[in-house]
Amino acid sequence: MLDTNNQFIEEKITQIVREVLETNDEINKQLELSELGMDSLASINLIVELEDAFDIVFNDNELLFENFSTIENIIKQIEKLQKNKINN
């Protein structure tokens, strides 16, 4: 079961992905976002929206396709950056 912060992160990411992809469909967090129409331009928009929403900055070495290919992978990246931010 997700704790409150993890649940918030997942819900916020899902909301942002829906906005970027212009869909109201349910999105399975393991589904490849490319199957929903995520392309390179949408990926850039997604990254900018995530950075704004979570007050984080992705390092260049984190901007890999696999890190943003699914909602589940995005959650892992956000959680990692938030932990690093707290510890620094």
Note if the pTM is more than 0.85. Answer: yes
- What is the per-residue pLDDT for 5? 82
Residues in the chain, how many?
88
Q: Give kind and range of the element (H or E) at residue 87.
A: helix 71-87
- What is the per-residue pLDDT for 6? 86
**Count of domains forming the chain:** 1
Pairwise CA distance, residues 63 & 1, whole Å: 29
23 token code pair: 């869909």
Tens of pLDDT, residue by residue over 22-46, are 999 999 999 999 999 999 999 999 9
CATH number of the domain that residue 11 is part of: 1.10.1200.10
Phi, psi of 66 (to 5 degrees): -65, -25
Q: Give kind and range of the element (H or E) at residue 10.
A: helix 4-21
Answer for the pair 81, 20: CB distance below 8 angstroms, yes or no. no
- What is the per-residue pLDDT for 27? 94
- What is the per-residue pLDDT for 1? 43
Question: Mean pLDDT across the chain, nearest whole number?
Answer: 93
Q: What is the domain range of residue 35?
A: 4-87
